[in-house]
Amino acid sequence: MKKGIDEFLSLEDDQATFNFIKSPHLTAELEQTISKVGIIGCGAIAEIITNFAAKGKLGVELQYFHDQNWTKAKHMAAKVNGVAVKNFKDMLNYVDLVVEAASPQAVVDLIPTVLKAGKHVMIMSLGALMDINFKDYLENLAQKHDSHIYLPSGALVGLDGIRSASIGKIKEVYMITRKSPSSFGIKTNQETVLFEGKASDAVVKFPTNINVAAALTIVCGMEAKVKIIADPSVKFNCHDIHVSGDFGDIKTSTRNQACDINTKTSLLAAYSAIKLLQSFKQNLKIGT
């Protein structure tokens, strides 16, 4: 019988406090002037976003594409009669917002330049923001250049409620992630615990697999305790979270369908980005 999240309470309570959101420039709020968009990273998430754009369901114009793999960028651009650029800087004069859908390293290497150009950004690889100094650097750049950094909710549910709860005192944050062994690039016939510890360490060991831990930590303002399990019996990417504080308790359980293109990525992560892009043109906003 699999252990539930209530049994995962054995880590020491030495969690760091993360003062992540100190200004409106690091935000989930909507900037209504966004209409033209470019994307960095033409993998699974970009494929899903582009397919929505090709059907006229994105709400904004997705026009520019950049990837280290030039063939991928050209293939994606062709779907929407867009433009593939070998140098990501070539899109900056023509877009309002750049979606990062590549990797934490791409956030470090490229996003500062985007912000310096006065463009808004949407970051999918939230693990890069677990480095507090780098997060503060990006936030200061956004403030200086009148830009905004948007962080979609990704593959987790309940973040809106947790964000509200963070106004008070958060006392404990736990998360158990369970995926198929192939998602981690390993083979095993039995349930195997790959990691147990702090979110900041988890995103270092699994930079493309555990953005959910970063999202949870950022929203709570407290570093989450994380357990990562490779389980050959599961068909979904599973995330169970438990947050407690002076507001009460929140427990959520998410069973995400993995992308066919890349099993590390949940469909819900791509859908959250699409919904945020659609919201830029909507007049009714639901949620905190």
pLDDT score, position 31: 45
Q: Which helix (H) or strand (E) holds 78?
A: helix 70-79
Q: How far is CA 166 from the centre of its chain?
A: 19
Count CB neighbours of 33 within 10 A: 8
Whole-structure pTM value: 0.86
The active-site residue, picked from 66, 120, 239, 242, is: 239
Residues 81-99 pLDDT 10s: 999 999 999 999 999 999 9
Over residues 18-28, the mean pLDDT reads 49
Residues 222-245 pLDDT 10s: 999 999 999 999 999 999 999 999
Closest Cα partner for 172 from 250, 117, 115? Answer: 250
d(CA 241, CA 257): 18
Q: Which residues pair with 123 in a beta bridge?
A: 100
| 145 given a catalytic annotation | no
Say what the alpha-carbon torsion angle 80, 280, 269, 75 is, to the nearest 10 degrees. Answer: 10
Sorting pLDDT into bands at 50, 70 and 90, what band is 15?
Answer: very low
d(CA 195, CA 198): 9
What architecture (CATH level 2) is domain 26-154+271-279?
3-Layer(aba) Sandwich (3.40)
Select 5-19+156-259's CATH number: 3.30.360.10, 2.60.120.310, 3.40.30.10, 3.30.70.3270.
Answer: 3.30.360.10
What are the residue ranges spanned by the domains of the chain? 5-19+156-259, 26-154+271-279
Exposure of 253 in the CB half-sphere (CA atoms within 13 A): 4
